[in-house]
Amino acid sequence: MDWGDNLGLVGVLAVSGLFSLWCLVRIWRSASNTLWKLFWSLVCLIPILGPVTTLTLYSPPAPQADHLQQRTWRSGGGATGSH
């Protein structure tokens, strides 16, 4: 197989691979459940269709509202927050 004959296909697969890597980073940095991360990672690795499907359908959970976030940090056993 001569790569020069299929240069367009190689280019599309290369771009698809870059989008797959970007999607994988985005998926694994999210706060989603590990099983969801595994599922979407497998979907993302399907050439061409995977990144498109992932970018279209995957939506990571939204961050918690400020009043729901726990902001106390423990240092040496005691809470140092201002609450």
Residue 40 half-sphere exposure toward CB, CA atoms < 13 A? 26
Three-state SS at 2 = coil
pLDDT value for 80: 54
Residue 50 or residue 1, greater confidence:
50
pLDDT at 83 over 60: no
The mean pLDDT of 46-75, rounded to a whole number, is 75
Question: Looking at the chain, how many residues does it have?
Answer: 83
How far apart are alpha carbons 83 and 72 in whole angstroms?
Answer: 8
The mean pLDDT of 29-54, rounded to a whole number, is 87
Q: Name the least confident of 37-41, 44-48, 56-60, 77-81.
A: 77-81
| Helix axes 7-28 and 34-44, enclosed angle (nearest 10) | 170
- Report how far apart, in Å, the C-alpha atoms of 38 and of each of 42, 72, 73 are: 6, 31, 31
pLDDT at 15 over 70: yes
